[in-house]
Structure 1
Amino acid sequence: MKAVVDGTVIAEAPKEDLIAIEGNWYFPPSSVRSELLSESDTPYTCPWKGECQYFDVTVDGTSLHDRAWSYPNPYATAFDRVGKDFSNYVAFWKEVEVTE
């Protein structure tokens, strides 16, 4: 699967390596082009996953605010709910298209 903005691949991994959570695909950290992400100051804590880290996605000089996020240190109980450790896996939305 791929996460793409305007033809630029931001993340790519086999579907079996991704984790589906609440309708979003989370990519393994090693599959993400981290040089295209920069940490955002947007605060959010999910009631069951824990503290979220948002990222701005920058492609060809255009920055898309908070279009990616991950959970660096999810609550331990979230692992049971999801079925595996999803620490630092990255999900995308809006202009970032996730396709097979």
Structure 2
Amino acid sequence: MRATVGGTVIAEAPESELVRIEGNWYFPPSAITPGALTESPTPYTCPWKGAAQYWDVVTPDGTTKDGAWSYPEIKPSAVERVGTDFAGYVAFSPGVTVAEG
């Protein structure tokens, strides 16, 4: 699977390494292109996953504000609910295309 913005690859990994949650593909941290994400101050807390970290997606064409998010420290009940530990995995907002690559 590949996450892209305007043809620039932001993340890439085999589907078997991704986690699907609520219709979103979460990429492992190792799949993220170095320099593609910068921390955003946008706050959000999911009632069942925990506190989110939003990221701005940076490409040569510009920045997609809050184009990605992750959960650095997830609630133990979230691991049970999803069936795997997805702490630090990154999902993408509309504006970032996620498709088979």
TM-score by shorter chain over 0.5: yes
Q: Does 1:38 align with 2:46?
A: no
How many aligned residue pairs are there? 100
- TM-score, scaled relative to structure 1: 0.97
**Partner Cα distance (2:2, 2:41) in 1:** 26
Partner in structure 2 of residue 79 of structure 1: 79
The answer (yes or no) to whether the contact 2:25–2:91 under 8 Å persists in 1 is yes
Contact 2:70 2:91 (C-alpha < 8 Å) held by counterparts: yes
Partner of 2:13: 13
CA RMSD of aligned residues (A): 0.8
Specify the SS of the correspondent of 1:30.
helix
Shift of residue 24, structure 1, vs aligned partner: 0.1
Q: Counterparts of 1:5 and 1:64 in 2: how far apart (Å)?
A: 9
Unaligned runs of 5+ in 2: none
TM-score normalized by structure 2? 0.96
Quick check: 1:64 aligned with 2:52? no
Structure 1 runs of 4+ off > 2 angstroms? none
